[in-house]
C-alpha cells in the first residue's frame, strides 16, 4: 500500500490565507504585526531564507524589514540594534538569522532578544516554558510538524515516537512537543547504539539528521507516520543539485502509512509558523493593552 502524503505546501498556503483576517483585525486595532530579520554576512542560503521570511510577512499584510550587516561587524553593534528593537512597540518579532560569523557569541545574541519578541523560540526562557508544557513561542520547524500531524489526523496519544536528531532547533523541541502531546518519545543521535531497533518499533519517526536519504524503508514499522525535516542538496549522481530529505522517500513510500515529501513538506511550514508566532505575539500585546485600558 502506498503511504498517504502529508502535503506541507498546501497546508502552509491554507494557513497563510487564514492568517490574513487576523492580521487585518490587528492592523485595524493599531497593532499591525511586525517582524525584523537581522542578517550578518552574505551566506547565499541565509540570504534566500531571509528574503522568503520578509516576503512571507508582506504577502499577508504584515510589516517586515531586514537589517543586513557586513560579516565583520562588531557584535556590540548588533546587540545595540537588538536593544533598540526590543524597545520598539511597532515590532513584535525579532529574528537573527543563523549561523552567525565565528567571532559572534551566538548564545549571547539570542539571549539579547526580548523573550516576548523571540519568534524563533530559542531564548532560554522560552525553551524553559516549552519544557514545562506551557510554551510561549514554539520553534517554527517543530511547530510546523505538529500542524502536519493535526492535518493528517494523527492522534499522538500513547504512540511510540522516535526523533532522530537532538539539535536545539529541531530535535529537542520536537521531542518536548511530542511528550506534551502524550506520545512516548525516544530521541536518537549519532551515539545511539542500535538506531534500527528504535525506528522499527516506532509509530512515528521524525528525521532531523542532515544526511540525504538516511532513513530507509527497512528501518520502519509498516504503517508508520514518517516526517522528513531534512533539507539536503545532492552533491553527485544524476540528481546532483536537487533537494532531498533525510528520508529515502521512494524506498519508504510503500512501507509508511503517512509521509512528508521534500520539497513541499516540512520546509514550507517553517516560515508559515514564523508568521504564526509573530501574529500570536501581536495578539498577546494587543490583549495586554486592551486589558490595561479596562
Ligand atoms: P544538526 O546537524 O544540528 O543535528 C543533526 C542531528 O542528527 C544531531 O543530533 C546528530 O547527532 C544526529 N545524527 C547525525 N548522524 C546521525 C546518525 N548516523 N544516526 C543518528 N543520528 C545522527 O541539524 P539540524 O537539527 O539543524 O537539522 C537537521 C536537518 O533538518 C538538516 O537537513 C537541516 O537542513 C534540516 N532543517 C530543515 C528545516 C526546515 O525548515 N525544514 C529547519 C531546520 C533544519 P549528534 O547530536 O550526536 O551529533
Cell of 87: 524597545
Residue 164 pairs in a beta bridge with 188, 207
Q: Work out the average pLDDT over 168-179.
A: 98
Q: Containing H/E element for 232?
A: strand 232-233
Distances from the Cα of 10 to the Cα of 258, 264, 265, angstroms: 16, 8, 9
Distance, CA 98 to ligand 1 centroid (Å)?
15
Does 227 sit in the ligand 1 pocket, CB within 6 Å? no
Does 9 sit in the ligand 1 pocket, CB within 6 Å? no
End-to-end Cα, the chain, rounded Å? 59
For residue 187, the SS3 value is strand
Q: What is the pLDDT of residue 1?
A: 78
- Which residues are the active-site residues? 53, 97, 120
Ligand 1 atom, smallest distance to 269 CA: 40
Ligand 1 atom, smallest distance to 246 CA: 32
Cell of 144: 510546523
State which of 208, 215, 235 you would mutate to test the pocket of ligand 1, scoring each by most atoms of that ligand within 8 A of its C-beta. Answer: 208
Does 229 sit in the ligand 1 pocket, CB within 6 Å? yes
Number of alpha carbons in the 13 Å side-chain half-sphere of residue 274 = 28
State which of 43, 45, 167, 249 you would mutate to test the pocket of ligand 1, scoring each by most atoms of that ligand within 8 A of its C-beta. Answer: 167
Does 265 sit in the ligand 1 pocket, CB within 6 Å? no
| Contact predicate 94/86, CB 8 Å | yes
What's the distance, CA 280 to chain centroid? 15
Does 205 sit in the ligand 1 pocket, CB within 6 Å? no
Does 132 sit in the ligand 1 pocket, CB within 6 Å? no
Ligand 1 atom, smallest distance to 265 CA: 41
Distance, CA 99 to ligand 1 centroid (Å)?
14
pLDDT tens digits along 261-276: 999 999 999 999 999 9
Distances from the Cα of 196 to the Cα of 188, 205, 222, 228, 231, angstroms: 10, 11, 13, 17, 22
Distance, CA 132 to ligand 1 centroid (Å)?
24
pLDDT band at 78 (very low <50, low <70, confident <90, very high): very high
Q: What is the pLDDT of residue 28?
A: 98
Does 98 sit in the ligand 1 pocket, CB within 6 Å? no
For residue 136, the SS3 value is coil
- The Cα–Cα gap between 63 and 279 comes to 11
Does 217 sit in the ligand 1 pocket, CB within 6 Å? no
Pairing of β 93-96 and β 34-40: parallel
Nearest alpha-carbon partner for 261 in 239, 231, 285: 231
- The Cα–Cα gap between 230 and 263 comes to 10
In this prediction the pTM is: 0.97
| Contact predicate 243/263, CB 8 Å | yes
- The Cα–Cα gap between 67 and 96 comes to 10
Distance, CA 184 to ligand 1 centroid (Å)?
21
Q: What is the pLDDT of residue 293?
A: 82
pLDDT band at 294 (very low <50, low <70, confident <90, very high): confident
pLDDT tens digits along 175-234: 999 999 999 999 999 999 999 999 999 999 999 999 999 999 999 999 999 999 999 998
Amino acid at each position: 500500500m502506498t503511504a498517504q502524503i502529508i502535503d506541507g505546501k498546501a497546508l502552509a498556503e491554507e494557513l497563510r490565507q487564514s492568517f490574513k483576517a487576523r492580521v487585518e483585525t490587528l492592523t485595524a486595532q493599531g497593532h499591525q504585526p511586525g517582524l525584523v530579520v537581522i542578517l550578518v554576512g552574505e551566506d547565499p542560503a541565509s540570504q534566500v531564507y531571509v528574503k522568503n521570511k520578509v516576503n512571507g510577512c508582506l504577502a499577508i499584510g504584515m510589516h517586515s524589514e531586514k537589517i543586513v550587516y557586513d560579516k565583520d561587524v562588531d557584535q556590540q553593534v548588533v546587540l545595540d540594534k537588538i536593544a533598540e528593537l526590543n524597545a520598539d512597540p511597532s515590532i513584535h518579532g525579532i529574528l537573527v538569522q543563523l549561523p552567525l560569523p565565528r567571532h559572534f557569541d551566538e548564545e549571547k545574541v539570542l539571549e539579547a532578544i526580548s523573550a516576548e519578541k523571540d519568534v524563533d523560540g530559542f531564548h532560554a526562557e522560552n525553551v524553559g516554558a516549552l519544557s514545562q508544557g506551557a510554551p510561549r513561542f514554539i520553534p517554527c520547524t517543530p511547530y510546523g510538524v505538529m500542524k502536519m500531524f493535526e492535518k493528517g489526523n494523527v492522534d499522538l496519544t500513547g504512540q511510540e515516537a522516535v526523533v532522530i536528531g537532538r539539535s536545539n532547533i529541531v530535535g529537542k523541541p520536537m521531542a518536548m512537543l511530542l511528550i506534551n502531546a502524550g506520545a512516548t518519545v525516544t530521541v536518537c543521535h549519532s551515539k545511539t547504539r542500535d538506531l534500527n531497533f528504535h525506528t522499527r518499533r516506532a509509530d512515528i519517526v521524525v528525521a532531523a539528521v542532515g544526511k540525504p536519504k538516511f532513513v530507509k524503508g527497512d528501518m520502519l514499522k509498516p504503517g508508520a507516520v514518517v516526517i522528513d525535516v531534512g533539507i539536503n542538496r545532492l552533491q553527485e549522481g544524476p540528481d546532483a543539485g536537487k533537494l532531498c530529505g533525510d528520508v529515502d522517500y521512494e524506498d519508504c513510500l510503500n512501507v509508511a502509512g503517512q509521509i512528508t515529501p521534500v520539497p513541499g513538506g516540512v520546509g514550507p511550514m517553517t516560515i508559515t509558523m514564523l508568521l504564526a508566532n509573530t501574529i500570536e505575539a501581536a495578539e498577546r500585546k494587543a490583549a495586554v493593552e486592551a486589558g490595561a485600558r479596562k
